[in-house]
């Protein structure tokens, strides 16, 4: 079943796209305010905010909630349902395909993901068979690092990884671990930290805007 997607169109014809994936138990509405913060002279951005499907989540006593995949253990290297994660990544691939069919250059498509959405973002962006514009990973972890099959087209995909140093949900150590793994694989990684918990902050958004301006230049 296709994802329910919140769409925000620019005032002029779109020539770039950002697909933003929310965290566990949240919704696409969480990041709609970003449409006001991220505006560029060099890009007319269509924002897509897909809503995760409703799934039972083991670590939350099996409660059904918006989730990109099940988490079965909350240890530091948390055990997840990789099959569900990859199914969610495939749904994001379908969204990317749709945007390309509508005339958007794949290299002007950016994937962004917060927390659980960021884990899906890693898988979706790094395995997509056409070159994308970049990936923004916020307060997240590289869940499929051990068995991902990256696409050659995105072997040099620009990555912006941001994390709070006071994050009690996804420890910053997991963000740094992702940076190390990706740097060793040759990806160009920008890593930024902020004195915040599991959230976003204004300074971070400004850094995002500068990074995106380079991607859309």
Kindly list the catalytic residues: 115, 167, 198
15 CB-near residues (< 8 Å, 6+ apart): 43, 44, 104, 105, 108
Cβ-count burial 34-50 (b if 16+ within 10 Å, e if not) = bbeebeeeebbbbbbbb
Strands 159-164 and 189-194, by their bridges, are parallel
Q: What is the DSSP string of 84-117?
A: HHHHHHHHHHHHHHHHHHTT--GGGEEEEEETHH
DSSP 59: G
């Amino acid at each position: 079943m296709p994802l329910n997607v919140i769409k925000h169109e620019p005032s002029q014809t779109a020539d770039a796209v950002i697909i933003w994936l929310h965290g566990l138990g949240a919704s696409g509405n969480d990041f709609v305010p970003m449409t006001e913060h991220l505006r560029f002279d060099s890009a007319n951005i269509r924002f897509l905010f897909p809503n995760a499907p409703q799934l039972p989540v083991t670590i939350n006593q099996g409660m059904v909630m918006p989730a990109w995949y099940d988490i079965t253990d909350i240890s530091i290297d948390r055990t997840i349902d990789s099959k569900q994660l990859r199914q969610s990544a495939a749904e994001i691939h379908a969204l990317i395909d749709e945007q390309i069919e509508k005339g958007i250059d794949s290299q002007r498509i950016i994937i962004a993901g917060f927390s659980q959405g960021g884990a899906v973002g890693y898988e979706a962006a790094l395995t997509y068979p056409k070159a994308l514009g970049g990936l923004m990973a916020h307060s997240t972890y590289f869940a499929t690092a051990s068995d991902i099959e990256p696409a050659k087209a995105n072997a040099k995909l620009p990555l912006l990884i941001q994390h709070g140093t006071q994050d009690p949900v996804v420890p910053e150590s997991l963000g740094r671990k992702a940076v190390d793994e990706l740097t060793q694989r040759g990806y160009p990684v920008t890593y930024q930290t902020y004195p915040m918990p599991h959230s976003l902050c204004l300074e971070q958004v400004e850094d995002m805007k500068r990074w995106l301006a380079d991607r859309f230049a």
